[in-house]
Amino acid sequence: PEQLVAFNAGGELYIGEGEDGQLVITSDKNALAGYARRFFSLNKDQLAVLTPKQLKLYNQDLILLEPNWEKMEVNVEELSKGVFPHFMLKEIFEQDKVVAETINSFLTTDEQIELTPEFLALEPLIKKSSRLIIIACGTSWHAGLVAKYFFAQLTNLPVSVEYASEFLPETIDSSDIVVAISQSGSTADTIRAVELAEGRGVKLIAICNVAGSTLARLADICLLTKAGIEIGVASTKAFTTQLVVLLLLAIRFGQIKNTITKELSSKLISQFKEIPRLIKEVLLRNKYIEDLAEKFSSAHNFLYLGRGLNYPIALEGALKLKEISYIHAEGLSAGEMKHGPIALIDKDMPVLVLAVKDEMYDRVINNIMEIKAREGRIIAVISGDDENITSKVDEVIKIPETNNLLLPFLSVIPLQFLAYYIARLKGANIDKPRNLAKSVTVE
Ligand code: M6R
């Protein structure tokens, strides 16, 4: 009684101390805010024994150690919902700002991509490398899938995108480059896969939102997203900032491998700098999606379809809906419909189709006709004023036109809103959905 023992067998563990000397243990440092004025990291194989009166810290040989206390820096604004009813909504609305901050953190004043000396040291290997392997889970995995299309268009590098939990280290060797993506930097599946990859001698680039996290520490190079603390379990602003870093990385790889011209990269970067303004435009259309949500909140199932760059966005839209509203949703490549899932379509099946004007547009229109012929209820996300689609579908959500490569930054936002407003109508616990944790620190 009155004794708590903590042992770090791998991953992250923090011990915080409050004003009155009370001690708190957590695997997520942000959770200490409001409870602790200082904290220290309990490192791997260290043991802490906590009683109401004292704290003792030992190494694996049971030698007593002094904790390395750090002051708890808290940005109160980041930790409060402000005027918003949920963190998720606040975080959706922060995307124009955090995307701009992430872009700017990697660009010089003359709009060149500036990376660290560690990255420069890796460039000879990038020049020679013949494959990129992206490892991640959940929403971060979807960001990796979008990146596959970025790299296909800007470099000649084959990219394979692996679920961290399904990663097969046998298939890689030291000429591969691994990119691990994780908001928290402490997802156990991702950390385990990265350790296995490092065991094969590969170089590791991490894209991470938490400086000092396990992943950030394991990586040869850590490229930080500037999303700020993400509290809602459903990841939103972390996703769009991960896309920023991945696109800049693809451009940089293209420059190193001479697969894109100077003109193309300058044009793309200047269009990219316009994206925060266009995100803002989409954010200001939230009321329209709130109204739309009312028409669909009683659905039991949902399909999300996209092709090319917008296929991973369909997966992401479906994940958002299922995790916070508990409606069964499936994201699919629109091209795969005819190979089986089309059998699900009837008048009770809402189908959200990403039908933006990109290379896949004509084929997506065909898919829309196939669904309509089977009486599916279609919501289409369209770019610009697309009269052609408006007459063929039940509802449209408009996003602005931009370079095709940049459309995912805009098309994902209405899907985040739709999931949010449907979940709110259902009275769900949006920021803490059942059975889920913000960082999944177990395998
Ligand atoms: O912190 P990570 O990016 O590694 O987390 C990965 C997933 O657990 C996470 O994206 C999860 O899928 C989100 N809840 C999705 O909204």
Task: Check residue 83 and give its pLDDT.
Answer: 95
Indicate whether residue 241 lines ligand 1 (CB < 6 A): no
Q: Where are the beta strands (DSSP E) in 219-297?
A: 221-224
* pTM (predicted TM-score): 0.94
Task: Check residue 218 and give its pLDDT.
Answer: 93
Indicate whether residue 236 lines ligand 1 (CB < 6 A): no
Averages of pLDDT over runs of 10 residues in the chain (443 residues) are 92 91 88 89 95 92 95 82 96 98 92 84 87 97 98 94 95 92 95 94 94 92 95 96 96 94 94 97 97 96 97 98 97 93 92 95 93 94 91 95 97 98 96 90 81
Compute the distance from residue 69 Cα to the ligand 1 centre, in Å. Answer: 29
Task: Check residue 293 and give its pLDDT.
Answer: 97
CA atoms within 13 A on the CB side of 234: 33
Task: Check residue 284 and give its pLDDT.
Answer: 97
Strands 328-333 and 301-306: parallel
> One-letter amino acid identity for 231?
I
Q: Candidates 187, 194, 441: which one to mutate for ligand 1, based on the most atoms within 8 Å of Cβ?
A: 187
Indicate whether residue 184 lines ligand 1 (CB < 6 A): yes
Indicate whether residue 440 lines ligand 1 (CB < 6 A): yes
* Sign of the four-CA dihedral 335, 339, 341, 346: positive
Residue the block writes with tokens 């052609």: 388
Indicate whether residue 98 lines ligand 1 (CB < 6 A): no
If you count them, how many residues does the chain have?
A: 443
Compute the distance from residue 137 Cα to the ligand 1 centre, in Å. Answer: 6
Task: Check residue 141 and give its pLDDT.
Answer: 98
Task: Check residue 121 and give its pLDDT.
Answer: 83
Distance CA 179, CA 221 (A): 10
3-class SS of residue 340: coil
Distance CA 47, CA 387 (A): 65
